């Protein structure tokens, strides 16, 4: 059997000194390191979250800028196509006007030539008629 005497008191005091010493030497530094580690991990986690949000925001801004640039490019392309179509219509109109003027000049020249040929043939109609008559009838007039 165990006797309870003054050694039990010494054991209790020894145990309390040991707990105090372990707390000062071992437990407090370990807890401090664990708290620092937790703080550092939380800070890194927050940094990662902030960086992720920034990356998403930058990606969205990039996509918005890209979409805007594409829209501007498409608008500029449409304006260029429209300007080119207008220029094409203008050039075609000028070519058609020039062609009409040249056609009218050619028709006028042909009409003058026809009139000149008619006038020349009308002068010689009597001579041709006499020549045809001579050939048909075989005699001279």
Q: Map tokens 């990039």 to a residue.
A: 62
pLDDT given for residue 139 in this prediction: 66
Do residues 139 and 130 lie in contact, with contact meaning Cβ atoms separated by under 8 Å?
no
Q: With pLDDT > 70 as the criterion, what percentage of the chain qualifies?
A: 96
| Strand spans (E) along 20-129 | none
Q: Which pLDDT tens digit goes with each residue over 40-53?
A: 999 999 999 999 99
Quick one: pLDDT band at residue 1, thresholds 50, 70, 90?
A: low
Buried b or exposed e, range 50-74, using 16+ CB within 10 angstroms: eeeeeeeeeeeeeeeeeeeeeeeee
Q: What is the largest CA-CA distance in the chain?
A: 185
Residue 27 has pLDDT above 80, yes or no: yes
Whole-model pTM: value is 0.46
Which residues lie below 8 Å from residue 104, measured CB to CB, with a gap of 6+? none
Q: Which pLDDT tens digit goes with each residue over 91-141?
A: 999 999 999 999 999 999 999 999 888 888 888 888 878 888 888 887 655
The 8-class DSSP code of residue 5 comes to S
Question: CA end-to-end span of the chain, whole Å?
Answer: 185
Position with higher pLDDT, 131 vs 11 = 11
Q: Which helix (H) or strand (E) holds 1?
A: none
């Amino acid at each position: 059997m165990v006797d309870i005497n003054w050694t039990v008191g010494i054991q209790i005091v020894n145990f309390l000194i040991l707990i105090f010493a372990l707390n000062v030497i071992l437990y407090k530094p370990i807890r401090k390191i664990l708290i620092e580690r937790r703080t550092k991990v939380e800070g890194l986690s927050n940094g990662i979250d902030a960086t992720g949000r920034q990356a998403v925001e930058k990606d969205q801004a990039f996509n918005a800028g890209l979409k805007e640039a594409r829209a501007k490019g498409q608008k500029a392309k449409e304006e260029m196509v429209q300007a080119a179509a207008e220029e094409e219509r203008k050039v075609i109109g000028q070519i058609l006007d020039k062609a009409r003027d040249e056609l009218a000049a050619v028709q006028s020249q042909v009409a003058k030539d026809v009139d000149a040929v008619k006038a020349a043939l009308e002068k010689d109609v009597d001579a041709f008629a006499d020549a045809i008559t001579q050939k048909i009838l075989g005699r001279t007039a």
